Amino acid sequence: MARLRKDQTEALVGALDSATSGPLEEITVARRHLVVALRIVLESDADWHQLIAAAAARDDWPDERRSILELAGQPDLAPDAEAVLEAMWELITELNERRTLD
1 within domain boundaries = no
Residue 87 lies in a domain: yes
Boundaries of domain holding 88: 6-98
Q: pTM of the prediction? A: 0.92
Q: Is the pLDDT of residue 58 over 90?
A: yes
Look at the chain and report how many structural domains it folds into.
Answer: 1
Query: Is residue 82 in a domain?
Result: yes
Residue 102 banded pLDDT, cuts 50, 70, 90 = confident
Query: Is 45 among the domain residues?
Result: yes
DSSP for 15-66 reads GGG---SSHHHHHHHHHHHHHHHHHHHHT----HHHHHHHHHHHHT--HHHH
Q: What percent of the chain has pLDDT over 90?
A: 76
Is residue 29 in a domain?
yes
Q: Is residue 33 part of a domain?
A: yes
